[in-house]
């Protein structure tokens, strides 16, 4: 089974072709970073127009790199949400057109499910597993029991951890996007120089909060003169606090998962922030201490891509699930909810 995937929910226009034996035949990502950089964040209108401009060429490129023809495909999957609606519309319309013209099944993929199932594409892991999903818009702990079968243990009460990275970069004068810039600056820094808060630490449950940490960093930066060594120390201290906060909540989730899913003992981290080496290290140590296997997809498959969307298509086609050409894109689409909106 071979599926074309299309991802357009944020600021990456991506296309990929994946086979059901977990082979990625092509994986093309066009990042719009340069278009959004002057604004210090993603501008939805610019994103939608850029997706529209590039999507046809990128579909073509994915097909050529895989050396395939549309007749070789068994389905076409596109992100149907959640995300910026203009971009999702572009990807869905493209997928619908291809499905209609070539008589292919259509799968409207949940972007979060793409991140959630990536570890099955990269590492072939079995259900159930515990997932820490950390991206620019989401921060969740989820028991993954099957495609479309999720129990959310906790989520952020305010900001996603990726937002905290991006905001920290901004106040430190580091380039956009913030996550990779903070990680790089932190390499030279002292993680113990500033005692930033570890929000929610020690509290029961699996919810997160990052606005207090974000504010503490902004306040600290306001009160000091920014020079390179200080930037590095703030970045390292922030990253260390974020890691501790994630680990504390994940530990509670491991305890809950162990009682509710006795057949599972794998912790998976996914989403853009999972590209961070420090966080991967902290979570890997935690998993090992708890007797869990730790799986983190390669960084290029943690950030937004279309291989994960094609993979959702494969998992759903295996179950005989497809979507109608009338599927309406969904700006909001929680993982632990029925797939088809009313």
Q: Identify what 207 binds: Zn ion, ligand KG4, none; CB under 5 to 8 Å per kind.
A: none
Please confirm whether the linkage preceding 261 is cis (ω < 30° from 0).
no
CB-based contacts of 314: which residues, under 8 Å, 6+ apart? 1, 3, 18, 20, 75
- In angstroms, give the least distance from the CB of 69 to Zn ion: 30
Name which of residues 262 to 321 contact Zn ion (CB under 5 A): 304
Complex with ligand KG4: residue 44 or 290, whichever CB lies closer: 44
Query: Residue 162's binding partner, choosing from ligand KG4, Zn ion, none, with beta-carbon cut-off 5 to 8 A by kind?
Result: ligand KG4
Residue 6 or 104 having the CB closest to ligand KG4: 6
Closest separation in Å from C-beta 283 to ligand KG4: 13
Of the candidates 321, 336, 333, 306, which has an alpha carbon nearest to the alpha carbon of residue 18? 306
**Cβ-Cβ contacts under 8 Å for 24 (sequence gap 6 or more):** 16, 17, 18, 121, 307
Of residues 29 and 93, the one with the C-beta less far from ligand KG4: 29
Measured CA angle at 322 (ends 320, 323), to 5 deg: 160
Residue 111 Cβ vs Zn ion, minimum distance, rounded to whole Å:
6
- The per-residue b/e assignment along 131-169, b for 16 or more CB within 10 angstroms, e otherwise, is bbbbbbbbbbbbbbbebbebbbbbbbeebbbbbbbbbbb
Instruction: Please say which residue, 166 or 304, places its beta carbon nearer to Zn ion.
Output: 304
Find the shortest distance in angstroms from Cβ 244 to ligand KG4.
15
| 135 contacts Zn ion (rule: CB under 5 A) | yes
**Beta-carbon count within 10 A of 39 CB:** 10
| Residue position matching structure tokens 């913030």 | 178
Query: Smallest distance from the beta carbon of 64 to ligand KG4, in angstroms?
Result: 25
By CB under 6 A, name the binding residues for ligand KG4. Answer: 10, 135-137, 162, 165-166, 177-180, 183, 271-273, 275-276, 303-304
Q: Specify the residue, 159 or 304, whose C-beta has the smaller distance to Zn ion.
A: 304
């Amino acid at each position: 089974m071979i599926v074309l995937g299309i991802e357009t929910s944020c600021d990456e226009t991506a296309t990929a072709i994946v086979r059901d034996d977990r082979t990625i035949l092509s994986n093309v990502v066009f990042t719009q970073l340069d278009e959004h950089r002057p604004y210090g964040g993603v501008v939805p209108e610019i994103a939608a127009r850029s997706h529209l401009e590039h999507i046809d060429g990128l579909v073509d490129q994915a097909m050529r790199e895989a050396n395939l023809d549309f007749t070789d495909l068994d389905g076409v999957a596109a992100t149907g949400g959640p995300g910026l609606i203009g971009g999702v519309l572009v990807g869905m319309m493209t997928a619908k057109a291809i499905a209609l013209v070539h008589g292919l099944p259509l799968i409207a993929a949940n972007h979060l499910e793409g991140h959630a199932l990536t570890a099955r594409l990269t590492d072939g892991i079995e259900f159930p597993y515990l997932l820490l999903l950390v991206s620019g818009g989401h921060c969740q702990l989820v028991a993954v029991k099957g495609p479309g079968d999720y129990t959310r243990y906790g989520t952020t009460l305010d900001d996603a951890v990726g937002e905290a990275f991006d905001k920290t970069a901004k106040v430190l004068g580091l380039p956009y996007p913030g996550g990779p810039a903070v990680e790089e600056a932190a390499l030279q820094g002292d993680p113990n120089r500033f005692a930033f808060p570890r929000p929610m630490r020690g509290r029961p449950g699996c919810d997160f909060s990052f606005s207090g940490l974000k504010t503490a960093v902004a306040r600290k930066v306001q009160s000091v003169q920014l020079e390179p060594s200080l930037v590095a120390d703030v970045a390292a201290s922030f990253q260390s606090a974020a890691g501790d906060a994630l680990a504390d909540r994940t530990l509670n989730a491991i305890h809950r998962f162990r009682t509710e899913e006795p057949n599972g003992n794998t912790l998976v981290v996914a989403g853009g922030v999972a590209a961070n080496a420090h966080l991967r290290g902290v979570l890997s140590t935690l998993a090992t201490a708890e007797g869990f296997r730790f799986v983190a997809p390669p960084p290029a498959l943690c950030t937004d891509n279309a291989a994960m969307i094609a993979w959702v298509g494969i998992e759903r086609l295996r179950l005989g699930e497809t979507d109608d050409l009338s599927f309406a894109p969904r700006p909001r689409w929680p993982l632990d909810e029925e797939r088809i909106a009313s």
